[in-house]
Chain A
Amino acid sequence: MTDQPIQNCGKCGLCLSVCPVYQVLKQEQASPRARLQLIKAFEKKDLSASPLLKDLVSQCLMCGACKVACPSGINHYAKFMEMREQLAKAQPDPPAIRSLVYLLAKEYRLRMGAGLARIGRRLTPAALEKKYKIGNIPVSRFPEMNRRPLRSTLPRVSPAKDTAGGYSRGNPRGRVVYFTGCATNYMFAETGQATVNILTRLGYEVVIPDGQTCCGIPMMFHGARDQAVENMAVNLTAIQEAMRENGGDTTENARGTAAENCDAMDKACDEAAKNCDAVIVDCTTCGAALKDEYPALMNTNADSRHATLTQKIAPDMPETIAGKTRDILSFLHDHIDDLAAAMKQDTSKHKVIYHAPCHSRNSFNSMAKVLDLLKALPCFDYIPVPDAAACCGGGGTFFYEYPDISQKMMAKKLANARAAGADYWLTDCPVCRINLHGSLSGQDSLKVVHPVTLISKGLGE
C-alpha cells in the first residue's frame, strides 16, 4: 500500500491508543496525531522550527506503532524522520547526541570508541560507576564492551556443519549473509557467536560481510541523513559483495570462465546473489534499515556525493537485499522442527519471559513466531507476561533524552517481569536489552539475553 499524504489523516485518534508516549503523558501534544498536525502547521509556516516544536516532535520513540495502526495509511514513521531532519538543521541536538552520531558515522571511530570505553570502565572507580547514570541507568549496569570486536574473532565464511538431515560443509542447505550490527560487534559478542552456531548447525553457510558498519538508523532519527546515506552505501556495498562472492560451487566454476568473459562472471555473481537464502539480522532495528529505509534512502539525493557513494551498488540490489532481510527469530521459526529435533536430549529448560522490541512488532511482525519458538523448543519453559508487547521506553536514545517518561514505561513492565519468577528475560533488540538490564538491580537474578543465546546452548557447540 502506498503511503498517504498527511493531509489525509482523518484525525480519528486511533493512534492515541497505541502510542506508548501518549499512554504515559496523557496529553494530546505527545500523540502521533498531534505530531502530524504540528508538521502540517510547520509546512504551512504557521509554526517555526522552535526549540519547543523540536521537543514535541522528538518526544517520540520512533516505534512505528502508529503507522501500523493507522486506518488511513499514513506513514508517520517516515514523516517524523523527515521532520526530525528539518528540525535538526534549525535546532542542533545536544552535544551527547551529536557525539553519538559522529561516533557511529565511521567504523574506525566506533572501534576506537568501544576500545576506549572498555579501558575507561576498567579505570573508573566502582563507587563512581554506581553513582553516575545515563538516563535512569547507572553506569555500572551498562554492558561491558567485547574484549575484541566480534567480527575480528569470526571467519568471513563459516562453513555448514553436519546435520541429521544430511547437510554438511560440502553440501550446505544454503547460504545466508549475516549483518551483525554494531551492538553485537562491540557489546554482545555472544549473540553473534550463538547466531552463527545455530545457522551453521542448521546446515547453512554463513557469510559475514567485510567492512559493514552502523546501519544508520540512529543518524536518521537525529536528522543526519547525509551520514546515514554514507553508511547505507558502505553496508549495501559490503552485503552485495558478500552475497555475490561466496556462491559455492556454481560461482567457483563460473569464476573459472570469468577471466575470459566478464559478463559471465557478472551473471554468475548475480546468480549467486539470488541464491543467497537470506540476509540475517539479530537486531530488528538494523533489519528495518535494510528492509524499509535503504530502498527509500537510495532514491533521495540528499548528498552531492550520493552518486559516487552508491556507484558500486547494482540498481536492483537495495530491493533485493530488502526482500531477503530476515530477523533471525522469524528465520529460525521456518526451521522450528529441525531445531527442536537437534536439541540435546538432556537440555536444561530455562524459565523465560519475552519482551517484544518495537521493530520486531511493527516492522517484522514477528511476535507470534517468537512465542511459537519459545513454546516449542525444549530449552525454554515459557512464562507469559501480560505486557510483553508494551514498550520498555528504550527507543534508541529516548531513554537518555526523556528519562522520566522512559521510567514510567518501564515501571509496570519491571514489576510484572519480577513477579513472573523467570531466569531469563529474552529480547531481540540491543537497546531494549541495555534498558531492561539497566533497569534491573544487582539484587535481581533475572538475566537479559537474546533468545539465540539459549537456543545455541540447547544445541551445544
Chain B
Amino acid sequence: MISPDLTKKFTAIVDPTRWLDKKEQLTCYAYDAFVEESMPDAVIFPETTDEVSQILVLASAHKIPVTGRGAGTSVCGAPVPVHHGLVICFSKMDRIIEINTRDRYIIVEPGVVNADVQAALAPYGFFFPPDPGSMNSATIGGNIAQNAGGPRCLKYGVTLDYILSLEVVLASGKVITFGSKNIKDVTGYKLAALFCGSEGTLGLVTKAILKVVPLPETMKTIMATFKDLDDTAKAVTDIIGSGILPAAMELMDRLTLNAIEDKAGLGLDREAAGTLLIEVDGVAEACDKQIRQISEKLVANHAVNIQEAGSAADRERLWTARRSAYGVFAKLAPDIISEDVTVPVSRIPEMVRRITQITDKYKLRVGVLAHAGDGNMHPMIPADKSNAEEWSRVTAAFDEIFQAAADLDGTLSGEHGIGLAKSKYLPLVMNQDTIDFMKTIKQAVDPDGILNPGKFV
C-alpha cells in the first residue's frame, strides 16, 4: 500500500492524470504475456528523466518496490510486480530525439516502439536489427531491459550489440550516462552489458543511443518442407556448419505450422513434419549464390519441397505468419508456456529429439518453433493452468527440457529473459559463485533491493 501522504508526494512530481491507483486501473498492470499475474499498488507515467529520478529518490526513501514497464509484451514475467509497489510505465516517454545516419545512430526515449524506430529509419535506408515477435508493440526500453533478439539476430546480433550509449536512473535517483556516439569506445567498463538484459533490476533506462545499419539491397526468402523433423534439424546444422550465414533461419514443426495455417490460410503444407523459413540478404548476386548453396544442402537433407517467395508481398505474408506463431498457439488452450532454451547449432537435432521425447512422456502437445540458425529453440506447450494435474505435467516437462539444454551445453534463455519463468533453473547453468557475483553487483547498485524485486537476482 502507498499511503495518501506518499501519494501526494508522487503526484507532486507528475501530474495526477499520470498516477493510477484504482483497482480497475491496477488490474491492467498486473500482467505481461507470461502466465503469472500480480497487481501493483500504483502506476506512474514519467515524461522526463528528471521525473524518473525524483520518483526513485522518493521510492528509495520509503523502500517502495519499483518495477519498470514498457508495453508489457515480455513473455517471462519481467515487468510483473510480484512484490507490488510502484510500476513506472515508460510508454509516454516516446520521443525519437535524433536520427543521424551519417554517424549511424538514433537517439530515443525508452517508450518508443520498436516498429516506430524501423519506420523512422526506413526513409533513410537504415534499420535497427533486433526484431522481436512483439516489435509492433514492444518498446525500446523493454528491448534493452530484456536484451531482445528476433529472427534476423542470427546474422546481425541482439539488442546489446546495438547499444552505443545509455542514460540510466539508479535506485538512488542518480542519473548515470555511459558510452558515446562512437562505434568504437573502450573508455571504462562496458556498462551497457551490465544494464542491458538486467530486466530492470539494476536501473531504469531513460535514453538510448542505438547503432543503426543500412538496409540490405536485396532480401530473398525460401521455404523448405521435410517429411522428417530430424532431417529438418540436420539441414540447419549442415547449412550453418558449412559457413553460410543467412539473415534468418526459422524452424517450425507440424503442430506450429498447422496452427499458423488455421489462422492465416497461406496454403502451407500441413503434412510437412518440419518446415524451414530461410532468408538471405545483401547484394543481389550474393543472395542468389547463397540461395543456391542453401538449396543444395536442403536437398541433401531430403527436403521434399523448396519454394521461393516471389514478391515482397509474398515474403511479408510468410513473415507475418511466422510472427503470429505465439498468438495462434495461444488459442489452442487457455494458457501457453513458450520457453527459449538455446543450444549450440550442432546440438539442434538432439535437442529437438529430446523435447519431443519429454513431451511425449508427459503426454503433452508441443509446438517446436526455433530461430534455428542460432540454436534458439521455442518449445511451446499449450495447456490449462487451472487444471492442476495437467499443469504439474507441464512443469515437470519443462524441468527436464531445461536439464536437457544444460546437458547439451545450452542455456536457459536465448532472448526472452529469466523473469519469473526461469529463476529456479539458474543453478543448472551457473555455479553458486557466479550467482553470488551477480548478487554482489545488485547489492552494490541497489542496496535496498527496490528495483524489480522477486526476480532472478
Contact = CB atoms under 8 A, between A and B. Distances in A.
A27 B44 CA distance: 10
Contact of B328 (A7, A46, A71): A71
Interface in B304-354: 324, 326-334, 336
12 contacts: A5-B334, A9-B330, A12-B33, A12-B73, A12-B330, A13-B73, A13-B134, A27-B91, A28-B72, A53-B24, A56-B28, A72-B327
Interface residues of B, number: 41
B91 A47 contact: no
Interface string A145-184: 0000000000000000000000000000000000000000
A26 B263 contact: no
B226 interface: no
B330 A10 contact: yes
Contacts of B228: none
Nearest to A46: B27
Interface string B32-61: 110000000000010000000000000000
Interface in A1-48: 1, 4-5, 7-14, 16-17, 26-29, 31, 34, 37-38, 41, 46-47
A26 B92 contact: yes
Contacts of A71: 263, 324, 326-328, 330-331
Given A17-B113, A27-B89, A47-B24, A11 B31 contact: yes
Interface residues of A, number: 33
Nearest to B385: A7
Kindly name the residue among B324, B329, B330, B333 whose own CB sees the greatest number of chain A CB atoms within 10 A: B330
A50 interface: yes
Contacts of A7: 334
Given A13-B73, A13-B138, A71-B263, A29 B28 contact: yes
Q: Nearest 9 CB-CB pairs, A to B?
A: A71-B327, A10-B330, A17-B136, A34-B28, A13-B73, A71-B324, A29-B28, A72-B331, A26-B91
Interface of A: 1, 4-5, 7-14, 16-17, 26-29, 31, 34, 37-38, 41, 46-47, 50, 52-53, 56, 70-74
A78 to B, nearest CB: 16
Nearest to B32: A11
Interface in B329-388: 329-334, 336
B24 A73 contact: no
A12 B94 contact: no
A11 B326 CA distance: 10
Contacts of B20: 27, 29
Contacts of B263: 1, 71, 73
Interface of B: 20, 22-25, 27-33, 45, 71-73, 89, 91-92, 94, 111, 113, 115, 133-134, 136-138, 262-263, 324, 326-334, 336
A50 B24 contact: yes
Given A46-B27, A47-B23, A71-B324, A17 B330 contact: no
Contacts of B133: 12
Given A8-B334, A27-B91, A13 B137 contact: yes
A5 B330 CA distance: 11
Kindly name the residue among A10, A37, A50 whose own CB sees the greatest number of chain B CB atoms within 10 A: A10
B27 A38 contact: yes
A4 B331 contact: yes
Contact of A72 (B32, B91, B328): B328
Nearest to B91: A26
A16 B28 CA distance: 13
Contacts of B332: 8
A208 B72 CA distance: 50
A27 B91 CA distance: 7
B33 A10 contact: yes
Contacts of A8: 330-334
A11 to B, nearest CB: 5
Kindly name the residue among A8, A50, A73, A74 whose own CB sees the greatest number of chain B CB atoms within 10 A: A8
B72 A13 contact: yes
B73 A28 contact: no
A169 B21 CA distance: 68
A9 B72 CA distance: 14
Contacts of B29: 28
Given A27-B91, A29-B20, A14 B327 contact: yes
Contacts of B329: 10
Kindly name the residue among A12, A27, A38, A74 whose own CB sees the greatest number of chain B CB atoms within 10 A: A12
Given A12-B326, A13-B138, A29-B20, 20 more contacts: A1-B262, A8-B330, A8-B332, A10-B326, A10-B327, A10-B331, A11-B33, A12-B327, A13-B71, A17-B115, A28-B29, A28-B91, A38-B28, A41-B27, A47-B23, A47-B27, A52-B22, A70-B327, A71-B326, A71-B328
Contacts of A37: 27-28, 30-31
B24 A14 contact: no
Contacts of B31: 11, 37
Nearest to A74: B331
A38 B327 contact: no
